[in-house]
Structure 1
Amino acid sequence: MTDHARIHRLAEAVRCFLTPGDAYREQLCAETEAMSADTMAAGLDASLANWDETGIAALCSEEALYMQDGVKPELAAVVLGGVLPPSHIQAIAYPYLLGAEVIVKHSSADPLFPNLLANALGDGVTVMGRLGFGGVLSRADAVVAVGDDDSILAIQREVAVATPFLGFGHRTAIDLVCGSILARSPSVAAEVAKDISLFDQLGCLSPREVLVIGTPEDAAILAQGIAEHMEDLLPRRILNISIEAAIRGTREVARAMGRVVLGPEDLQWGITVEEEGQWTGTPGGRQVIVRSLSKLGHIPDALAPIQGHLSAVGVAGGDLDPATQRSLIRLGASRIVPVGTLQAAPPTWPHDGRRPLASLCRWCGLG
């Protein structure tokens, strides 16, 4: 199959999940256990719009500059964790676009989507569970893994040191609102609420904290604006008992400490307002902290607890100054984009700061 044919086939497969009424999209939305059908549909629409033929071709064109004389993999193993279609598409697409035979071990939490995607592609991708996957890692000449950090490290221990390996572990995102005027803007509040609610906050591009460069009053006003949009959301699925208990526990602690806490008693969503201090995050489930910082220069200290785990930053306030950009990149950010677009990562995204196709190739010095 030619490079162009692979690009076209992948774009057509992704389009199935964007097209209302398509059998693949309808089955995914109806049968997913991680979230409601409407939440899945909204997440697909927001996250996959850039995965068309033009966007995928741009990835291949950009990566070609870094792959000159590189040897592409012939057999790639992909180990999936989590339940979000965008991360699974990325993990499968990278070796697929290089022409490799792709063998996928589906997540125990989601065998559905990888199988649907493989069927939509037609051939080139085989999906299986734990049974049957034994030995694939040792035979593969490239490996992609998605999961929590412990899972990634465990998989990497089964792979030869010289084998190209892309591991995408635990990450989180933030929204950054710069200034009093923007903190008090209804449109900014709406975009932040969108970032928080898409995919029920399950992915690495979902913010668990919103940093407001301004006063505590600015943060409180933004929190109220976000709450007005969260109230309009359809109910989320109940998470496992430990997460729901953690949500209730953190809310009760915040109230005991005198924090402003917004949200219904059924825990469908929640907002806690904090002043200065360091990132603590939330257990998820549409729960977020809105934290005021008096200066941009306080960001590195505020985010120190997630050093190396920051995935992306949504910004309200235009382009950040170079020093702030560099500090965010050193913290791990590989996407700095306008608020409301965190989930819309294009194929060209250097996921976790790496070249997604070139990183799976090998080079050899000759002569």
Structure 2
Amino acid sequence: MKVAAYHLPSQVSGCEVETRALGTVTLEVPRITPTLLTEVIGHLQRARERLRKRKGQEIAEILAEVFRRWQDRTDPFRQDAEAALPATTRFSPGMVAHGLDLLCEGYTADAFDELLQGIGDEEALEGFVHLGSQLSRAYGPALITHVLAGNIPGIGLPGLIAATLLGSASLIKTASAEPLFPALWAASVAREDPEIGECLAVLWWSGGRADLEAVAFDRAEVVIAYGSEQTIHELQGRIRCRFLDHGHRVSFGLIGREALARAEGVADRAAYDASLFDQQGCLSPHLFYVEEGGRMSPREFAELMGAAMARWAEQLPPGLLTVEEAATVRRFRAGYEAQELAGKEVALFTSPRGLDWTLIYDADPTFIPSCLHRTVLIKPVADLLEVGGLLRPWRPYLQAAGVAVIPERIGMLAGTLGHAGVNRICPIGRMQAPPLTWHQEGRPLFRDLLRWTDLEV
């Protein structure tokens, strides 16, 4: 299968295309030079002058229709994605199809309307408006450069959507591990509205190309980047404009003793969160704290969740591991097997089919990230409020907490988690389906992109 893993404004000409093989898929990508990138940015900026005159509400309706069409499995872009993404991402076909459905369900007209409300007054993008006691006007960036990671398809979409709603042009540098989905999405936007499509460019080039990065970063007003700590650190030294970074983050879950009265359902939802995207996202839970004193012990819950992990491995089969990833999982298991043999209060529940999933009960409550690839730890605590102190060393990296507690306890627990540095608290079973308006890394993305001018008269 051959598919274009790029999207360019229609007026860009003379682009030399080469191919990259990823598994059974051959990707077509342009050969990028500083001259070509400069030409692309020039087209984006000219197209943006037309887009910025359009109402955000009108753009929102178009984007909602784009995602509605993606939900149709007979749509050509959806079919290309389902056919090619298992090869580029190494996720199973079932996981790719389910992940695309989950992705699209959150991008609706209502969600875009709610995001637009984050401006406070959309008219502020068109002229000075009264905000409190002063006149203010908001300006969206002319050009935003997006540097994407390749761990899961759709990463970076909130930033792209926010940029488009603001009438900004977007230059999207894709990851070598997954360069396809952003290109298919941009092409589907262009199909729906060619004028918006002219404001999107999706390109891949190998990391570390200082000549290309100088063009991509120096011409942008904002850079949004996803990646490892090392990637973010390296980019910070080369970017002089506003830089919104999304680096390494960890998530986890908490299960109250009262929730263990419905342990089967909680275990199923927790296993789903840990299985989705093979635990590769920043919202994937590494471990679950289970409160003692419930209908069953935390160790018994671990065994129950192991059975749920096995069921989800049938429904959403895991993808293929590289040799290095498989070795990492084996080493992680071996460390806990050694503790169990040494008499520590540890128990392993593992897939009978090898490395499909790993569930570890460990009585030591210390927060320890897992090695991913559907590897989950269950740790007991006497009281969930104790978890705040256990999280302290990980404060800079905390992202989401999935919770299963009775309503009477959520307020105090949420306060503890918020003080600890958690940015999103949600029910277990919805950890990887955040609303478009969530404050990723604790920041309001939409307002982060705006520049304000105040007029005092």
Q: Same fold (TM over 0.5)?
A: yes
Change over 3 Å in CA distance of 1:72–1:199 after alignment to 2: same
Matched, 1:346 2:435: yes
Highest CA radius of gyration, 1 or 2?
Answer: 2
Q: Give 1:134 deviation, angstroms.
A: 4.2
Distance (Å, rounded) in 2 between the aligned partners of 1:145 and 1:348: 18
Contact 2:289–2:384, Cα closer than 8 Å, also in 1: no
Equivalenced residues, count: 365
The amino acid across from 2:373 in the alignment is G
SS state at 1:336 partner: strand
Question: What is the 5 A alignment of 1:114-125?
Answer: 114-122=182-190, 123=197, 124-125=199-200
Where do 1:136-175 residues align within 5 Å? Answer: 136-160=216-240, 163-175=241-253
Q: Is the 8 A contact 2:254 2:384 kept in 1?
A: no
Residue of structure 2 in register with 1:198 after alignment: 276
The equivalent of 2:405 in structure 1 is 317
Give the CA RMSD over aligned residues.
2.2
Q: Does 1:254 align with 2:336?
A: yes
SS of 1:315's equivalent? strand
After superposition, the Cα gap between the structure-2 partners of 1:27 and 1:169, relative to the gap in structure 1 and judged at 3 Å, is same
Contact 1:177 / 1:213 at 8 angstroms: preserved in 2?
A: yes
Q: What does residue 82 of structure 1 align with? A: 150
Following the alignment from structure 1 to structure 2, what is the Cα–Cα distance between the partners of residues 59 and 130? 31
Alpha-carbon distance between aligned partners in 1 of 2:256 and 2:121, rounded to the nearest angstrom? 36
CA contact (8 A) 2:273 2:428 kept: yes
Q: Quote the Cα distance in structure 2 between the aligned partners of 1:209 and 1:49.
A: 27
In structure 2, C-alpha distance between the alignment counterparts of 1:134 and 1:29, rounded to whole Å: 35
Report if aligned partners of 1:247, 1:282 keep a CA contact under 8 Å in 2: no
Query: Aligned partner of 1:144: which letter?
Result: I
TM score, norm. by length of structure 1: 0.92
2:399 is paired with a residue of what secondary structure? strand
Which residue of 1 is the match for residue 201 of structure 2?
126
Q: Which residue of 2 aligns with 1:73?
A: 141
Report the 3-state secondary structure (helix = DSSP H, G, I; strand = E; otherwise coil) of the residue aligned with 2:105: coil
Alpha carbons 1:14, 1:52 under 8 Å: kept? yes
Corresponding residue of 1:18: 71
Q: Per the alignment, in what secondary structure is the counterpart of residue 175 of structure 2?
A: coil
Residue 308 (structure 2) aligns with: 229
Shift in Å, 1:169: 0.9
SS of aligned partner of 1:288: strand
Any idea what the Cα deviations from partners look like across 1:267-300, whole Å, max 9, x if unmatched?
1101000114311121111110011111123202
* 1:214 shift after superposition: 1.3
**TM-score of the two chains, using structure 2 as the length reference:** 0.75
Q: Is 1:64 aligned to 2:114, yes or no? A: no
CA apart distance, 1:365: 4.9
Match in the other structure for 1:55 = 111
Conservation of the 8 A alpha-carbon contact between 2:278 and 2:374? yes
Q: Structure 1, unaligned stretches of length 5 or more?
A: none
CA displacement, residues 40-60 of structure 1 (integer Å, 9 cap, x when unaligned): 121222343121111111111
Which residue of structure 2 lines up, in the alignment, with residue 29 of structure 1? 82
Runs (5+) with no aligned partner, structure 2? 1-53, 125-135, 191-196, 207-211, 341-345
Matches of 1:313 and 1:48, distance apart in 2:
23
- % identity of equivalent residues: 27
Map 1:282-293; keep pairs closer than 5 Å.
Answer: 282-293=370-381
CA distance in 2, matches of 1:323, 1:47: 31
One-letter amino acid of the structure 2 residue matched with residue 118 of structure 1: A
* 1:316 partner amino acid: A
Distance 1:63 1:328 in 2: 27
- Alpha-carbon distance in structure 2 between the residues aligned to 1:296 and 1:237: 34
8 Å contact 2:59–2:165 — kept in the other structure?
Answer: yes
Determine if contact 2:258/2:406 at 8 Å carries over to the other structure: no
Matched, 1:269 2:357: yes
The letter for the 2-side match of 1:241 is V
